[in-house]
Chain A
């Protein structure tokens, strides 16, 4: 039998064609006969469409124009709610809202046609502040309340610590902009695009186009990054391309340029979290009251589930005896916010872990000691009442992170460094150093009963050449999906990985294994394939009437049986036993299992310029089982870097509801000089709720950097960073406020 593939550095299957330039991204498809689409958008955040004017000098007979009136079915992109139109018909609810589409035989002509259309909008007052929206009674897309213990427990606390923490939007900046190509064929609509979730599109376009779902086929092209940004948004793009293609009678391709992509597509939810925490004098948490407000933007999209994950992580990996979490996602007139790696958890974890540092100070303890007194241990429960048994690693990751980062020694060394600052020469006088940490957990897979509802299907097909093809709709967007799934299938089958084929999904072939989100691919689909592999072998051996111990015998038999007819085995997700979730009261097992992590940032700040440089970063996590070490540490390093960006650099600037800095020059994502060495350490305690014991890891690394950095800034400068990104400007104004004796917190409102 083959050696096991899980746990080893199997080289990436998806590597080769991306290294040679042969990978086909949507904009690399052949252009013969293809028309190009462009989108005409509103430039005001709210209003009524008066007219769509065509410049009479333009040769309109050479292009096609599509507006809401041309939609054959219902003008809606259904997701959690049916509130978002494919094209605005009368009302405008956000700037950049699509109003009309054009397609032309060349990109240039399409751009000119778009410029020759003028959307006349009578502006209406817009709500561009979540707090104001709430006060004005704007629609709350979702309200969640979690309660544990005694609601009046705060009365018994020795002291109460309060704080409000704010965070900005974050743009995904996947390096390949969004793109989609639609084509109508005899068999129906074929969509090829840059996307994460092919079956979302299949499920959403039927009503809009008045077509049965089996006439909608989605093929994922090579995809240059997603991070959640290609979860729900590509459905809108698919609708646009499909409408244009129907009107033009040609395949139509829409590829956004960077500015349009940054302005119009979804971003991470901005918002604020207010904490009110009751403590005993010796530093135990008595009660926690958390109020979470997310700005959902104009349409619901995935805000309820983003909010849900945020709320469920709001009290962190701590044993809080009495807790109340109130979380709301409110409508404003910003472009809709949506899925982004971490999905609400980074927001609430930033708030909590920054707040706890303040709590520690107030009771005269170090952040480390304070956390140690309160962290979750076997026997304790989360805010939902969930009891994780022995599947808890909060203290283990804390200890390991302290050791690997040399936390205490460096803290002392930095204290000494800062104490001598005034005596140094020139620019060195302005340098301060700090070190900070964050302790957190991250629920793996879909929230609550999501996996049960999805009932994902995945499987294997034997091919006539004796290899086995993975059947799943999971997409590769950079994480190594195809490789990891091939590893799981190989181990299930007892074959070496080179006998397995794993390719980008096509809904004509791949069963619906659910979306590629929520760090669920390795854990859930990998688990399904492990099982499918075992059952596939049993099936083939039963048909052969004998055991097939060697790979050559097994593959020869696969070839023989596949030659006689289709040889497929599909399995369906079954919830692990003993998981109970009460969606109505937010009680029970929100996630089957959690990954645990402790991250440490060491940094240097220049008090003259306000600039922060992260010196190095330590990321320790318990992830059940590491399926592929290089891919896994790649996920962590990439996520940490995005987290550093969100904490320090990535500042979406809004002006009248539009993104003002929509270029990669003005919206700064980390480049080489901004990225420190990142030391990644894994602890492995395989859990029993997935066949291979792995927990999801894709999103986890986004959670820790922001609070670790905020706490390190606190150490370096003595100011509490309560708003991110902690840009140089914010750091300077906080320092000035500190010097002036007022509240030393960077809390300017955007």
Chain B
């Protein structure tokens, strides 16, 4: 079988990467300056340059919603947002929703108790979408909940428990119920397993 073999592939230029440009962002309330290339997206800037790895990457194509952050208060897919275009914007990520030493946000608590999170990889994105929804609309109808989170994908839960979680969180935020905090019954692991909620921990 003698088919013509492939010729050399055109070589992407390794050397002449475009120059970096400084961008000023307000990330979780703090002003940050980063040097970025024109094609860098906010997801990479957050994860690779600013060390904020709580925002996850499920597709890099704007399909899954994992990478949702708030940009000037509005949920935004960070994998589709060019960092250059975020100059001056206020960015809020999952790390700011319940920083170490603070209680979980009612939305996070509801996802834990109502089964809205299984593998958890989609959860930061959902939390960002839902906190904004409930800020804007404290009593969303089921339909409004569905519409708000239809851009977030979850492969584990089948979504029903996510809707339950949003309802529960909304009720708590309206002051109607106070579910018990799940972390009260969770011990802090020690020794080689020091992975949970230790300041600066997690090997980062």
Contact = CB atoms under 8 A, between A and B. Distances in A.
Q: Do A and B come from one complex?
A: yes
A24 B146 contact: no
B120 A20 contact: no
A278 interface: no
B81 interface: no
Given A55-B11, A637-B158, A22 B197 contact: yes
B59 A258 contact: yes
Interface string A96-133: 00000000000011001001101010111000000000
B82 to A, nearest CB: 17
Contacts of A478: 118-120, 156
B150 A258 contact: no
A225 interface: yes
A677 B100 CA distance: 36
B203 interface: yes
A526 interface: no
Interface stretch (B70-78, B91-99, B132-140, B170-178): B91-99
Contact of A29 (B2, B54, B55, B203): B203
A120 B61 contact: no
Contact of B14 (A109, A122, A664): A109
B196 A122 contact: no
Interface string B169-204: 000000000000011011101111101110001111
B115 A633 contact: yes
Chain B facing A: main interface SS: loop
A12 B61 contact: no
Contact of B113 (A11, A118, A469): A11
Which of A10, A14, A31, A175 has the most chain B CB atoms inside 10 A of its CB?
A: A175
B57 A634 contact: no
A673 B154 contact: no
Contacts of B155: 172-175, 225, 227, 638, 642, 669
Contacts of A173: 155
A109 B123 CA distance: 31
Contacts of A507: none
Interface in A405-457: none
A176 B203 contact: no
A340 interface: no
Contacts of A13: 186
Contact of A671 (B14, B15, B150): B150
Interface residues of B, number: 78
A439 B165 CA distance: 31
Given A13-B186, A120-B6, A21 B118 contact: no
Q: Is the interface of A mostly helix, strand, loop or mixed?
A: loop
A17 B95 CA distance: 11
Nearest to B162: A672
Interface centre among A53, A225, A639 (most CB of B within 10 A): A225
Contacts of B157: 634, 637-638, 641
B61 A465 contact: no
A135 B158 CA distance: 41
B48, B57, B98, B121, most chain A CB atoms within 10 A: B121
Contact of A12 (B104, B112, B197): B112
B12 interface: yes
Interface stretch (A80-88, A245-253, A493-501, A531-539): A493-501
A20 B187 contact: no
B187 to A, nearest CB: 6
B118 A16 contact: no
A27 B53 contact: yes
A58 B11 contact: yes
Interface in A161-205: 172-177
A465 B189 CA distance: 10
A512 interface: no
Contacts of B61: 258, 663-665
B115 A506 contact: no
A359 interface: no
Nearest to B94: A21
A12 B186 CA distance: 9
Given A223-B119, A642-B155, A24 B202 contact: yes
A509 B112 contact: no
A123 B104 contact: no
Contact of A18 (B2, B117, B159, B201): B117
Given A18-B120, A58-B14, A258-B59, A498 B185 contact: yes
B17 A108 contact: yes
Nearest to B44: A107
Given A175-B153, A223-B119, A630-B115, A20 B57 contact: no
Interface of B: 1-3, 5-6, 8-9, 11-12, 14-15, 17, 47-48, 52-61, 63-64, 66, 93-95, 97-98, 100, 104, 108, 111-115, 117-124, 127, 146, 149-150, 153-161, 182-183, 185-187, 189-193, 195-197, 201-204
Task: Pick the 4 closest A-B CB pairs, nearest first.
Answer: A21-B54, A18-B120, A224-B121, A478-B119
Interface of A: 9-25, 27-31, 50, 53, 55, 57-59, 108-109, 112, 115-116, 118, 120, 122-124, 172-177, 222-227, 257-258, 463, 465, 467, 469, 477-480, 497-501, 503-504, 506, 509, 630-631, 633-634, 637-642, 663-665, 669-673, 675, 677-678
Given A11-B113, A22-B100, A25-B56, 16 more contacts: A11-B112, A16-B104, A16-B182, A20-B108, A20-B197, A21-B53, A22-B202, A120-B5, A120-B6, A224-B119, A500-B187, A503-B189, A630-B113, A637-B161, A669-B153, A670-B158
